[in-house]
Amino acid sequence: MSSRKSGGSWETIKTVLYAMLIAGVVRTVAFEPFNIPSGSMIPTLLIGDYLFVSKYAYGYSRHSTPFSLGPSGERVLEKSPERGDVIVFKKPPEDKIDYIKRVVGLPGDRIQVVGGVLHINGEPVRRDRIEDFVELTREGNIMRAPQYVETLPGGRKHRIIEYAGDNGIADNTMEYVVPPGHYFMMGDNRDNSADSRFLDEVGYVPAENLVGRAEVIFFSGDGSAALWEPWKWPWAIRYGRLFDGID
C-alpha cells in the first residue's frame, strides 16, 4: 500500500515538473503574457490590459529567457523590428525592468519632436486630429485628451494622445541620431511617457534588450473589481477589448 502511494506521489511530481518545463519552453521561445500597469501607451493599451508578446518575432537574446539568465551576446535568429511595432523591452541601462513602447526610430534615423509633431529624418510625420480620447478613470474621474492618428513612413497608422496639447515637456526636443544596433521608442501617450526622448532615463534601446512584439490583448479589466470580489468581475471586464490585435 505504501509503495503504491509513493509511486503515485512520484508520478504527480513528474507531471508537475513536465508541465513547468513545457510552460518554461513556451514562455521562452513562443509567447509570454504581460500586463499593462501604467498609462504610457494610452490609447493603444490601457491600464489593466493583459497581452501576449511573441518571443520569436525578433529572434532570441539573454532577455528572452526567464530572469534574463541566458548568455550575453548577439541575438540568435535575429530579425529587425519594423517602424511602428509595439515592443516589450528591458529598460536600459539597468536592463531589469520591462517597458512597452512603439518603435519610431530605426538605426541611423534622425528623430526630433517639434511643436508636438514627430519628425523623422527631417520630415514631419503626418497626424490627423480626430475626436477627443475620453475614459473614465479608476477613481471615477472623466479623462479627456486631444487625439490624433499618426501615419509613420511606410504607412503604419496608430492613435496618439496629447494631454498637454503641443506644450508638453518633451514636445520640443533636440535632434537624436539613433546609433547602429539601437532603436528609438516612444509612448503613444506623448505627454505621459518616459521613453527614448529622455536620454538619462531610457535613451536608445539596444537590439539585445528587445523581449518581443506585442500581438494581442487576451484580457482587460477596468480595475473596479478586486480579486476577492468575484461577484463584480463580470462588470469589470472590458469585453470590447478581448482578443484585439495590437496595431
Q: Please count the structural domains in the chain.
A: 1
Give the per-residue pLDDT at 230. 87
205: nearest Cα among 188, 187, 183: 183
Give the per-residue pLDDT at 25. 46
CATH number, domain containing residue 28: 2.10.109.10
Q: What is the CA radius of gyration of the chain?
A: 21
Give the per-residue pLDDT at 18. 46
Give the per-residue pLDDT at 53. 95
Instruction: Say how far apart CA 233 and CA 220 lie, in whole Å.
Output: 11
Q: Is residue 247 part of a domain?
A: no
What are the residue numbers of the active site? 40, 101
Give residues with Cβ within 8 angstroms of 21, minimum separation 6.
Answer: none
Q: Is residue 113 part of a domain?
A: yes
Mean model confidence pLDDT for the chain: 87
Q: Is residue 60 part of a domain?
A: yes
Q: Is residue 30 part of a domain?
A: yes
Q: Which residues constitute the domain of residue 38?
A: 2-241
Give the per-residue pLDDT at 135. 84
Name residue, grid cell 475626436: 131
SS3 69: coil
Sites in the chain below the pLDDT cut of 50: 18-27
DSSP 203-220: -SEEGGGEEEEEEEEEEE
Give the per-residue pLDDT at 202. 97
Instruction: Say how far apart CA 118 and CA 120 lie, in whole Å.
Output: 7
How buried is 213 (Cβ within 10 angstroms: 0-12 exposed, 13-18 middle, 19+ buried)?
Answer: buried
Q: Which three cell numbers stand for residue 76?
A: 540568435
Q: Is residue 246 part of a domain?
A: no
10: nearest Cα among 22, 25, 18: 18
